[in-house]
């Protein structure tokens, strides 16, 4: 049984992966590549990501999402809607205004916060299950999946490992920088 470890910096944090498996040296690089792919496609900080294409079309037109992004947005909306939920995937405008974790972080004015609060209602996320499209009703809306994405990615890696016969693994997607 081979053991393989990987530490990488992705999604704004240190990520550690460890598995025991006969082909650990093949499976672990594939797992890391999947995380790199998720970061590129689902990032709320990369204008070229699939998520940002949806955000840029807010108030303009529905956007067809790939299956995984659609599934994550659908899941995020479902858990954002209950009145007692602490999750809101439509919080993108506020996250971007604060720029927490970036060199240009700041505190927006109270007036700016009040303006942005009008753009974060998850009820304004329209999902067409048949066409697999997502439409953000109001211009200036944006989705940020950061609160649920790493858990989703961990679940996907766990499935990948199980499908390949891995019985021992550690997936740490929330390490300290």
Q: Which tens digit of pLDDT belongs to each residue from 39-86?
A: 999 999 899 999 999 999 999 999 999 999 999 999 999 999 999 999
Q: C-alpha dihedral over 105, 107, 112, 117, to 10 degrees? A: 90
Query: What are the mean pLDDT values of the chain's consecutive 10-residue runs (177 residues total)?
Result: 92 92 96 96 93 98 97 98 96 91 88 95 98 98 95 96 96 77
DSSP letter string, 34-66: HHHHHHHHH-SS-TTSHHHHHHHTTTT--EE--
Q: Where does the chain have alpha helices with state H? A: 24-42, 50-56, 67-80, 92-98, 110-117, 146-163
Stated pTM of the model: 0.89
What phi, psi does 97 have (nearest 5°)? -65, -40
Q: What is the crossing angle of helices 24-42 and 67-80, to 10°?
A: 60
Where are the domains positioned within the chain? 1-44+145-177, 63-143
Strands across the sheet containing 2-10: 2-10, 13-21, 168-172
Q: How far apart are CA 164 and CA 115, in angstroms?
A: 49
Q: How far apart are CA 126 and CA 135, in angstroms?
A: 5
Are 140 and 58 in contact by the 8 Å Cβ rule? The answer is yes
CB atoms within 10 A of CB 108: 16
Provide the CATH number for the domain formed by 63-143 in this structure. 1.10.3980.10
> What does the pLDDT read at residue 14?
92
> What does the pLDDT read at residue 11?
87
Q: How far apart are CA 21 and CA 38, in angstroms?
A: 24
Q: How far apart are CA 14 and CA 7, in angstroms?
A: 7
Quick one: which H or E segment has residue 12? none
> What does the pLDDT read at residue 175?
63
% of the chain beyond a pLDDT of 70: 98
């Amino acid at each position: 049984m081979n053991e393989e470890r990987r530490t990488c910096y992705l999604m704004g944090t240190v990520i550690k992966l460890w598995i025991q498996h006969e082909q650990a040296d093949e499976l672990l690089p594939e797992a890391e590549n999947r995380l790199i792919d998720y970061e590129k496609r689902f990032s709320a900080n990369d204008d070229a990501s699939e998520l940002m294409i949806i955000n840029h079309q807010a108030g303009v037109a529905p956007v067809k999402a790939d299956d995984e992004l659609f599934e994550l947005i659908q899941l995020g909306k479902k858990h954002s809607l209950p009145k007692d939920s602490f999750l809101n995937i439509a919080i993108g405008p506020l996250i971007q205004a604060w720029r927490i974790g970036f060199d240009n972080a700041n505190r927006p004015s109270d007036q700016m916060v009040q303006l942005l609060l009008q753009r974060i209602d998850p009820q304004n996320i329209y999902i067409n299950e048949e066409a697999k499209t997502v439409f953000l009703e109001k211009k200036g809306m944006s989705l940020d999946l950061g609160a649920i994405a790493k858990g989703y990615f961990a679940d996907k890696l766990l499935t990948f490992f199980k499908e390949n016969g891995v019985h021992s693994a550690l997936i740490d997607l929330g390490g300290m920088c």
